[in-house]
Structure 1
Amino acid sequence: MKTAVATDKAPAAIGPYSQAIRVGNLLFTAGQIPLDPATGQLVSGDIKAQTRQALKNVAAILEAAGTSLAHVVKTTVFLKNMADFAAMNEVYGEFFTAPYPARSAVAVASLPKDAAVEIETVTLIPEKD
Protein backbone atom coordinates (compact mmCIF):
# COMPACT_ATOMS: atom_id res chain seq x y z
CA MET A 1 0.00 0.00 0.00
CA LYS A 2 1.28 3.46 -0.80
CA THR A 3 0.65 6.56 1.26
CA ALA A 4 1.29 10.18 0.30
CA VAL A 5 3.42 12.34 2.59
CA ALA A 6 3.15 16.13 2.53
CA THR A 7 4.32 19.10 4.56
CA ASP A 8 3.98 22.85 4.27
CA LYS A 9 7.66 23.12 5.30
CA ALA A 10 8.62 22.15 1.75
CA PRO A 11 7.29 23.54 -1.54
CA ALA A 12 3.85 22.27 -2.49
CA ALA A 13 3.66 19.98 -5.49
CA ILE A 14 3.20 22.05 -8.65
CA GLY A 15 1.59 19.28 -10.64
CA PRO A 16 -0.15 15.92 -10.33
CA TYR A 17 2.41 14.32 -8.02
CA SER A 18 3.11 13.91 -4.30
CA GLN A 19 5.97 15.42 -2.33
CA ALA A 20 6.71 11.85 -1.27
CA ILE A 21 5.22 8.38 -1.30
CA ARG A 22 5.69 5.85 1.47
CA VAL A 23 5.66 2.16 0.57
CA GLY A 24 6.31 -0.07 3.56
CA ASN A 25 9.39 1.27 5.32
CA LEU A 26 10.68 3.15 2.26
CA LEU A 27 10.02 6.77 1.33
CA PHE A 28 10.45 8.02 -2.23
CA THR A 29 10.66 11.81 -2.49
CA ALA A 30 9.78 13.77 -5.57
CA GLY A 31 12.67 15.78 -6.95
CA GLN A 32 13.13 18.94 -4.92
CA ILE A 33 14.30 22.11 -6.58
CA PRO A 34 15.48 25.13 -4.58
CA LEU A 35 12.12 26.76 -3.97
CA ASP A 36 11.51 28.74 -0.82
CA PRO A 37 8.48 26.98 0.71
CA ALA A 38 7.13 30.27 2.10
CA THR A 39 7.12 32.13 -1.21
CA GLY A 40 7.16 29.38 -3.83
CA GLN A 41 9.97 31.29 -5.54
CA LEU A 42 13.37 30.00 -6.60
CA VAL A 43 16.03 31.06 -4.09
CA SER A 44 18.58 33.49 -5.42
CA GLY A 45 22.23 32.64 -5.45
CA ASP A 46 24.73 30.23 -6.88
CA ILE A 47 24.69 26.44 -7.07
CA LYS A 48 25.70 26.21 -3.40
CA ALA A 49 22.70 28.25 -2.25
CA GLN A 50 20.40 26.29 -4.55
CA THR A 51 21.76 22.90 -3.41
CA ARG A 52 21.39 23.92 0.22
CA GLN A 53 17.71 24.89 -0.29
CA ALA A 54 16.91 21.75 -2.27
CA LEU A 55 18.35 19.61 0.53
CA LYS A 56 16.48 21.61 3.19
CA ASN A 57 13.29 20.87 1.26
CA VAL A 58 14.14 17.16 1.15
CA ALA A 59 14.91 17.18 4.89
CA ALA A 60 11.53 18.78 5.68
CA ILE A 61 9.68 16.07 3.75
CA LEU A 62 11.69 13.32 5.44
CA GLU A 63 10.91 14.81 8.85
CA ALA A 64 7.20 14.86 8.02
CA ALA A 65 7.45 11.14 7.26
CA GLY A 66 9.23 10.34 10.52
CA THR A 67 12.72 9.90 9.13
CA SER A 68 15.78 12.01 8.36
CA LEU A 69 18.73 12.54 6.06
CA ALA A 70 20.64 10.03 8.21
CA HIS A 71 18.41 7.29 6.77
CA VAL A 72 18.72 8.20 3.08
CA VAL A 73 19.95 5.20 1.10
CA LYS A 74 19.95 6.63 -2.45
CA THR A 75 19.95 10.07 -4.01
CA THR A 76 19.70 11.27 -7.56
CA VAL A 77 21.07 14.72 -8.32
CA PHE A 78 20.10 16.48 -11.54
CA LEU A 79 22.38 19.35 -12.53
CA LYS A 80 21.74 21.89 -15.24
CA ASN A 81 25.49 22.28 -15.61
CA MET A 82 27.94 19.49 -14.75
CA ALA A 83 30.56 22.20 -14.16
CA ASP A 84 28.64 22.84 -10.90
CA PHE A 85 29.34 19.30 -9.64
CA ALA A 86 32.23 20.18 -7.27
CA ALA A 87 30.36 23.08 -5.66
CA MET A 88 27.17 21.01 -5.33
CA ASN A 89 29.21 18.17 -3.84
CA GLU A 90 30.72 20.51 -1.23
CA VAL A 91 27.29 21.49 0.08
CA TYR A 92 25.96 17.92 -0.28
CA GLY A 93 28.74 16.83 2.09
CA GLU A 94 27.39 19.22 4.74
CA PHE A 95 24.10 17.29 4.83
CA PHE A 96 25.25 13.66 4.72
CA THR A 97 27.71 11.64 6.79
CA ALA A 98 29.33 8.25 6.30
CA PRO A 99 28.16 5.81 5.30
CA TYR A 100 26.99 8.09 2.51
CA PRO A 101 23.91 7.26 0.44
CA ALA A 102 24.45 5.72 -2.96
CA ARG A 103 24.17 8.50 -5.53
CA SER A 104 23.72 9.20 -9.20
CA ALA A 105 24.44 12.65 -10.61
CA VAL A 106 23.43 13.54 -14.14
CA ALA A 107 23.42 16.63 -16.29
CA VAL A 108 20.09 17.62 -17.80
CA ALA A 109 19.09 20.16 -20.44
CA SER A 110 16.83 22.10 -18.09
CA LEU A 111 14.92 21.91 -14.82
CA PRO A 112 11.61 23.37 -13.63
CA LYS A 113 11.69 27.13 -13.02
CA ASP A 114 15.19 27.15 -14.54
CA ALA A 115 16.68 25.74 -11.32
CA ALA A 116 20.34 24.72 -11.34
CA VAL A 117 19.76 21.54 -9.30
CA GLU A 118 17.08 19.03 -8.37
CA ILE A 119 17.49 16.25 -5.79
CA GLU A 120 15.36 13.18 -5.09
CA THR A 121 15.85 10.47 -2.47
CA VAL A 122 14.95 6.98 -1.41
CA THR A 123 14.94 6.81 2.39
CA LEU A 124 14.45 4.16 5.05
CA ILE A 125 11.81 4.90 7.65
CA PRO A 126 13.05 3.29 10.85
CA GLU A 127 10.65 1.21 12.89
CA LYS A 128 9.52 2.87 16.09
CA ASP A 129 10.43 1.18 19.34
Structure 2
Amino acid sequence: MTISDDVVEQARQCLRNIGAALTEAGCGFADVVRVRYLLPDRADFEPCWPVLRECFGPVRPAATMLVCGLSDPRMKIEIEVYARRP
Protein backbone atom coordinates (compact mmCIF):
# COMPACT_ATOMS: atom_id res chain seq x y z
CA MET A 1 0.00 0.00 0.00
CA THR A 2 1.40 3.37 -1.00
CA ILE A 3 0.30 6.71 0.39
CA SER A 4 0.81 9.88 -1.62
CA ASP A 5 2.54 12.78 0.10
CA ASP A 6 -0.07 15.13 -1.40
CA VAL A 7 -3.15 15.77 0.74
CA VAL A 8 -5.33 16.45 -2.31
CA GLU A 9 -4.40 13.10 -3.85
CA GLN A 10 -5.06 11.44 -0.50
CA ALA A 11 -8.51 13.06 -0.46
CA ARG A 12 -9.16 11.78 -3.99
CA GLN A 13 -8.17 8.27 -2.94
CA CYS A 14 -10.42 8.46 0.13
CA LEU A 15 -13.31 9.47 -2.13
CA ARG A 16 -12.59 6.63 -4.56
CA ASN A 17 -12.63 4.18 -1.64
CA ILE A 18 -15.83 5.71 -0.27
CA GLY A 19 -17.46 5.61 -3.71
CA ALA A 20 -16.65 1.90 -4.04
CA ALA A 21 -18.02 1.14 -0.56
CA LEU A 22 -21.19 3.13 -1.25
CA THR A 23 -21.73 1.30 -4.53
CA GLU A 24 -21.27 -2.05 -2.80
CA ALA A 25 -23.91 -1.02 -0.27
CA GLY A 26 -26.35 0.03 -3.00
CA CYS A 27 -25.81 3.75 -2.37
CA GLY A 28 -24.04 6.68 -3.95
CA PHE A 29 -22.70 10.07 -2.94
CA ALA A 30 -26.23 11.49 -3.30
CA ASP A 31 -27.24 9.29 -0.34
CA VAL A 32 -24.59 10.69 2.03
CA VAL A 33 -26.19 12.57 4.91
CA ARG A 34 -23.14 13.16 7.12
CA VAL A 35 -19.42 13.52 6.46
CA ARG A 36 -16.54 13.86 8.91
CA TYR A 37 -13.10 15.06 7.80
CA LEU A 38 -10.14 14.18 10.04
CA LEU A 39 -6.82 15.95 9.49
CA PRO A 40 -3.66 16.39 11.55
CA ASP A 41 -3.08 19.85 10.01
CA ARG A 42 -6.00 22.25 9.63
CA ALA A 43 -4.18 24.09 6.81
CA ASP A 44 -4.48 20.97 4.64
CA PHE A 45 -8.27 21.18 4.53
CA GLU A 46 -8.69 24.18 2.24
CA PRO A 47 -6.66 22.73 -0.68
CA CYS A 48 -9.04 19.73 -0.66
CA TRP A 49 -12.23 21.79 -1.09
CA PRO A 50 -12.40 21.53 -4.92
CA VAL A 51 -12.11 17.73 -4.77
CA LEU A 52 -14.67 17.48 -1.97
CA ARG A 53 -17.12 19.73 -3.85
CA GLU A 54 -16.98 17.35 -6.84
CA CYS A 55 -18.64 14.66 -4.71
CA PHE A 56 -20.48 16.56 -2.02
CA GLY A 57 -21.25 19.96 -3.56
CA PRO A 58 -24.77 19.20 -4.79
CA VAL A 59 -25.49 16.86 -1.84
CA ARG A 60 -24.67 19.27 1.00
CA PRO A 61 -24.45 16.70 3.84
CA ALA A 62 -23.96 17.79 7.44
CA ALA A 63 -20.19 18.08 7.89
CA THR A 64 -17.55 18.34 10.59
CA MET A 65 -13.79 18.82 10.27
CA LEU A 66 -11.65 17.65 13.19
CA VAL A 67 -7.97 18.26 13.77
CA CYS A 68 -6.49 15.12 15.27
CA GLY A 69 -3.69 12.59 15.02
CA LEU A 70 -4.14 9.73 12.56
CA SER A 71 -2.88 6.16 12.90
CA ASP A 72 -0.10 6.55 10.30
CA PRO A 73 2.03 9.72 10.22
CA ARG A 74 1.99 9.61 6.39
CA MET A 75 -1.78 10.09 6.42
CA LYS A 76 -2.94 13.67 5.97
CA ILE A 77 -6.70 13.15 5.73
CA GLU A 78 -9.38 10.61 6.58
CA ILE A 79 -12.98 10.95 5.48
CA GLU A 80 -15.92 9.17 7.12
CA VAL A 81 -19.42 9.20 5.68
CA TYR A 82 -22.86 8.11 6.77
CA ALA A 83 -25.32 7.32 4.00
CA ARG A 84 -29.03 6.63 3.98
CA ARG A 85 -29.90 3.68 1.78
CA PRO A 86 -32.61 4.45 -0.76
TM-score by length of 2: 0.90
Highest RCO, 1 vs 2 (Cα 8 Å, sep ≥ 6): 2
Deviation, 1:113, is: 2.2
Contact 1:43/1:53, CA 8 A, preserved across alignment: no
Contact 1:75/1:103, CA 8 A, preserved across alignment: yes
Deviation, 1:98, is: 2.0
TM-score by length of 1: 0.62
Matched letter for residue 68 of structure 1 = G
Across the aligned residues of Structure 1 and Structure 2, the Cα RMSD in angstroms comes to: 1.2
Q: 2:4 aligns with which of 44, 48, 51?
A: 44
1:112 maps to 71
Number of aligned residue pairs: give it.
Answer: 85
Q: Equivalent residue of 2:30, what SS?
A: helix
Bigger Rg over Cα: 1
Deviation, 1:91, is: 1.3
Q: Equivalent residue of 2:72, what SS?
A: helix
Contact 2:30/2:59, CA 8 A, preserved across alignment: no
Deviation, 1:94, is: 1.5
Deviation, 1:68, is: 0.6
Q: How does 1:52-67 map to 2 (within 5 A)?
A: 52-67=12-27
Matched letter for residue 48 of structure 1 = V
Which runs of 5 or more residues in structure 1 are unaligned? 1-40
Which runs of 5 or more residues in structure 2 are unaligned? none
